[in-house]
Structure 1
Amino acid sequence: MAEGTRGPDLGFPGAGDHDDECLAEGQRRHGGAQRTRARRHAGHGYGPADRRAGAARGAAFERLFLKLMITHQQGAVTMATDVLSAGNDIQVGEWATEVTAQQTSEIARMRGLRRPPADRAPVPCWTYPAGRSLPVLRVAVVGSGPSGVYTAEALVRQDTVPDVAVDVLDRLPCPYGLVRYGVAPDHEKIKSLQGNLRGVLEGPRVRFLGNVTVGERLGPAELLGLYHAVVYCVGAAADRRLGVPGEDLPGSCSATRFVSWYSAHPDEPPDGFALQARSAVVIGVGNVAVDVARILARGAQDLRRTDVPDAALRALAGSRVTDVHIVGRRGPSQAKFTTKELRELGGLPEVDVLVRPQELELDPAYTDPSGLPAVARRNVEVLREWAERVPRERARRLHLRFFLRPAELLGEGRVAGARFERTTPDECGGVTGTGRYEEIGAQLVLRSVGYRGVPLAGLPFDEGRGVVPNEEGRVLRDGARSPGEYVAGWIKRGPTGVIGTNRPCAKQTAAALVADAPMLLRARKVPGDPLDGLRALGQDPVAWPGWLAIEAAEAALGRTLERTTVKIPDWPGLLTAAHPGR
């Protein structure tokens, strides 16, 4: 392409301008001798003749689209490769690695789509090689959320043990764990992480097997009969309780259940929440609490463009909730939500965000937050700004309350409110009760005060910490290492950190497993393909083609409802979609 020539118009404004800026920057930084390289970085490999994109129609346009997109994504791979060879920032390098994996996978898929439909090979379900001279280290990873997929990725990318095969098992027929069933539907950027996880699960030597329940019939002993090693990445599935009277009244439940409902988790009934309440209380000041409060306060129309299940969307559209109270027992400087999540509340249409200056001022750091960590400081600054706002009498109100500790949930036969004790900061950074109480009327109470791991039959469990005892990911039984058993993620370290925290955690566990590989290969002989053994134990795995069939069914459901993709919210629907021929 000649200098200054715009790229073809592919239907989005500024595309050519952006590419020209990238090209110019590449030329400026690399000099004339490397202009070809800069063009590759910009994603260009075509010339003005490709302006015929605007005139192409039907199959011709589709072929041209695939050609241009392949070239564009090859440019991204080139840039990422250069960063890995010339850069020195670890986080940028990790991101470049993810870009390379994701874009390479997408390029392969698009090349397959360039073939005529009749000539396209079916999506492969990876099988174990037969007759290989090298031993195969066969590993099962239980859990297909970020920690599980990151563990699989670390195992197949290392080169110490050259022949590793990983089965990623999940109780659900769908992969991605909390990225699919925990991230709010209006957080598209975070949900896009599924693309990175997908690149691993579609890669060589990794096989996804959903609808596999690890429990009584298929326990740790049975898994170790099929694999050299098993890594448990089962998260922290239980929510912490308040421990106050009235907690089990109808209308009171965990925020986890509410998240599962609007995320279409098949364990949660699609009609689980009618939302006839006028007032809702969310107890907790972390990101999950902010998520559920935002979904309650946000208009359903804004969620139509997301994949929220149809029953939940209809319930939210008919919601009578006008007031949502987020309540924390400590002050704003100790809240666990991130500033990004907090600011989103202030941008909700037709919602007044209300804070009480007298509560904020109880926090010793409120007047001068300069000594706080960055996130806490920004949170306080946002709340100070909101404290000065004049309410606009909008249709819904979101109240942020602090220094209130739950004492009792009120109601006869159903929750009608919550009673809180006013707290005050103490000298140790905590709070102490004042003996003064306040009641907030509410017909829905959601608790969001943390998670904890749950025991898995056959594995040791530390009840106090809610984790499997381990040493750098190696499971400990009675204080001694248990050969072939490993953990990663929250079940290893407890429910701490963000999604990205799981990557170094997974790498540490994978490194321990690889170091143990010679011993594992010598000590344990495993039979043929573990898939046969899983079926013999009563499992009916959903492999990757089954998951792709679920994706296709959800896309078709979205078209039927005149929406984008819409999640299937129940077990029968998911399994029917996964096995359309049955």
Structure 2
Amino acid sequence: MTHRVAIVGAGPSGFYAADGLLRGQPDLRIDLIDRLPTPFGLVRSGVAPDHQGTKAVVRQFERLLAQPDVRFAGNVDIGRDLSWDELRAGYDAVIVATGMVIDRKLGVPGEELPHVWGSWKFVAWLNGHPDFRQGPDLSAVRRVAVIGNGNVALDVARLLAKGPEEMARTDIVPEAAAAIAAAPLADIHVIGRRGPQHASFTNNELAEMGRLGRAVALADAAALAVEVPASDPTPERLRKTKNLEILRGFAANVPGGKPLSVHFRFNSAPLAIRPGEIELSSGTLPADLVITCIGYRGEDFPMGEGVFAVGWARRGPTGTIPANRADSHAVAREVLAWLRERDPKSGPDPMPASIDVAGWHRIDKAEIATGGPLGRPRIKLIDWKSLLDIAQGD
């Protein structure tokens, strides 16, 4: 007999955990379980659709799915189809890789208004997540406030600012692309609570904002008269120094040179949101749509003997997709040490009916076939019925 390991969540950290396990014990039987009928988690639903290079990591994950002792079990909701107790009883170890996909709240009056959206919900709509098929009404949106000073805020601002020709070869959902293209957008404000020397943008993502076809990036030179904290580690100092250099370039741009303007505003904490405006510590700003990009939280899950968390479920929503590899491999080593001290469990296969890897490949093939003639990587199936019908061969 061999040990069986369940990995709950078929996103990057789950796949990297599977990779780490197989490197240490190639004869393990691993089930990658996901509530969606599609694997890859954040890569499919959270990475910006115009960043196809980032999404190419799924090629590594597909090779894992081809391993004979790795099983994909999609459309399995833990708590609905299989309880946590049944999971722990049926497997020798359980790895929780469910990530964090609930938008954090600002904690200010007015954030429950219908024109206030969290970044996870917004990007999931753009990416065709079947749970988020109703997007914001953009038909009268001229001014957008994007709250946050990290790469997610840049993603949101960039996706709104790009023109149709810049999005033509992405996998954005066509209905979302059409809504953005038709919106009367004029101004997008990227708003940070703290100064520019504290922003967590990466250099490449920030520089990309200066190369948009229909939008000019702007910043206030006076706000950039700051220094990077000397106490920061060298890599952070270098990153922040380069960010300031890029932002000073934006400050030299001429307003009105393109149809749309992206304004970088700092030292502006949100205080309240009202219809048509947002109150900041630096003043009141017109805003027809507010998108918060201030982090995420996850669903609770029961820890216990033989249960290990990995990725964002373990350490919070920090780090890039590649950063999950080392973290997941470290947890995999813990799991292998645990398994070496225990005999494999016996008993029937605990897995209920699910979408297997062949079902996923039917979805994948259908999406690619639809997108190919249009020059797109794929056109995603975006509702549960279509996904399940194709996966099941109907």
Query: TM-score scaled to structure 2, two decimals?
Result: 0.94
**Could you say which residue in structure 2 is the equivalent of 1:403?**
267
Partner Cα separation in structure 2 for residue 291 and residue 245 of structure 1 = 25
Pick the aligned partner of 1:387 from 251, 255, 260. 251
Q: 1:213 to 1:487 in 2, by over 3 A?
A: same
The answer as to 2:175 corresponding to 1:175 is no
Is residue 201 from structure 1 mapped to residue 201 from structure 2 by the alignment? no
CA 1:273–1:541: 2 relative to 1, 3 Å:
farther
How far apart are the structure 2 equivalents of 1:562 and 1:345? 24
Aligned partners of 1:282, 1:495: CA distance in 2, in Å?
19
Matched, 1:449 2:324: no
Deviation at 1:328, TM superposition (A): 0.2
Q: Name which of 374, 386, 389 aligns with 1:576.
A: 389
**1:293 maps to which residue?**
157
Q: Secondary structure at the match of 2:290?
A: strand
The match for 2:305 among 483, 488, 505 is 483
Structure 1, residues 179-238: CA drift from partner, whole Å, max 9, x if none? 111111111111111111111122232111111101255222111222111110011122
Structure 1's 388 and 274: CA in aligned 2 closer, same or farther, altered over 3 A?
A: closer
Asked if the contact 1:297/1:322 (under 8 Å) is kept, the reply is no
Amino acid at match of 2:358: P
Q: How far did residue 271 of structure 1 move?
A: 4.8
Q: What letter matches 1:485 in structure 2?
A: V
Query: Are residues 1:518 and 2:340 paired?
Result: yes
Return the alpha-carbon distance in structure 2 between the equivalents of residues 379 and 364 of structure 1: 11
**1:544 to 2:357 alignment:** yes
Query: Does structure 1 conserve the Cα–Cα contact (< 8 Å) formed by 2:219 and 2:263?
Result: yes
Does residue 534 of the first structure (1) align with residue 351 of the second (2)? Answer: yes
> Which is richer in helix?
1
On the 8 A contact 2:269/2:280 being kept in 1, the answer is yes
Contact 1:252 1:446 in 2 (8 A): yes
Instruction: Tell me the SS of whatever aligns to 1:483.
Output: coil
TM alignment of 1:185-264, pairs within 5 A: 185-216=49-80, 218-264=82-128
Partner secondary structure for residue 516 of structure 1: helix
Q: Tell me the secondary structure at the aligned position of residue 404 of structure 1.
A: coil
- Matched to 2:295, the amino acid is G
CA displacement, residues 472-511 of structure 1 (integer Å, 9 cap, x when unaligned):
xxx4xxxxxx332111111111222211221121112111
Q: Percent identity?
A: 38
The corresponding residue for 1:376 is: 240
Specify which of 204, 208, 218 is matched with residue 354 of structure 1.
218
* 1:319 paired to 2:139: no
Equivalent-residue separation in structure 2 for 1:563 and 1:200 (angstroms): 25
CA RMSD of superposed structures (Å): 2.1
SS of 1:373's partner is: helix
The superposition leaves residues 53-104 of structure 1 with CA deviations (integer Å, 9 ceiling, x where unpaired) of xxxxxxxxxxxxxxxxxxxxxxxxxxxxxxxxxxxxxxxxxxxxxxxxxxxx
Q: Which structure is richer in relative contact order (CA contacts within 8 A, separation 6 or more)?
A: 2
**2:354 equivalent to 1:509:** no
Shifted more, 251-260 versus 268-277: the winner is 268-277
CA apart distance, 1:557? 2.4
Preserved CA contact (<8 Å) 1:184 1:291: yes
The yes-or-no answer on 1:151 pairing with 2:45 is no
Counterpart check, 1:421 vs 2:281: yes
Matched, 1:306 2:151: no
Q: Is 2:285 the counterpart of 1:440?
A: yes
**Structure 1 residues 370, 199: closer, same or farther in 2, change over 3 A?**
closer
- CA gap 1:579/1:179 in 2 versus in 1, 3 angstroms: same
Give the C-alpha shift of residue 251 in structure 1: 0.5
Tell me, in whole angstroms, the C-alpha distance in 2 between the residues paired with 1:189 and 1:275.
31
CA distance in 1, matches of 2:96, 2:228: 41
Q: Distance in 2 between matches of 1:542 and 1:269?
A: 22
Residue 150 of structure 1 and its aligned partner are, at CA, apart by: 0.5
Q: Answer yes or no: is the 8 Å Cα contact 2:148–2:191 preserved in 1.
A: yes
Unaligned stretches of 5+ in structure 2?
Answer: none
Q: What's the offset of the Cα at 1:527?
A: 1.6
Could you tell me which residue of structure 2 aligns to residue 281 of structure 1?
Answer: 145
How far has the Cα of 1:142 moved from its partner?
0.6
Task: Give structure 1 stretches of 5+ with no counterpart.
Answer: 1-134, 423-437, 460-474, 476-481
Which residue among 193, 196, 220 is the counterpart of 1:332?
A: 196
Q: Deviations over 1:354-407 (max 9, x none)?
A: 10112222x3449xx998611111101111222223335210100000000000
Q: CA deviation at 1:253?
A: 1.3
Native 8 Å contact 2:169 2:375 kept in 1 = no
Q: 1:225–1:526: 8 Å Cα contact kept in structure 2?
A: no
**C-alpha contact (below 8 Å) 1:490/1:496 kept by paired residues:** yes
Which SS does the other structure have where 1:225 is aligned? helix
1:559 shift after superposition: 4.7
TM-score w.r.t. length of structure 1: 0.65
SS of 1:499's partner is coil
2: CA distance, partners of 1:370 / 1:349: 35
Are 1:270 and 1:312, in contact at CA under 8 Å, matched by a contact in 2? no
Contact 1:554 1:567 (8 Å CA) reproduced: yes
Confirm or deny: 8 A CA contact 2:115 2:136 kept in the other structure: no
Q: What SS does the aligned partner of 2:322 have?
A: helix
Write the mapping of 1:36-55 to structure 2, written as runs, cut at 5 A.
none
* Aligned position for 2:379: 566
Compared with structure 1, are the counterparts of its residues 209 and 407 closer, same or farther at alpha carbon in structure 2 (3 Å cutoff)?
same
Q: Is the 8 A contact 1:298 1:349 kept in 2?
A: yes
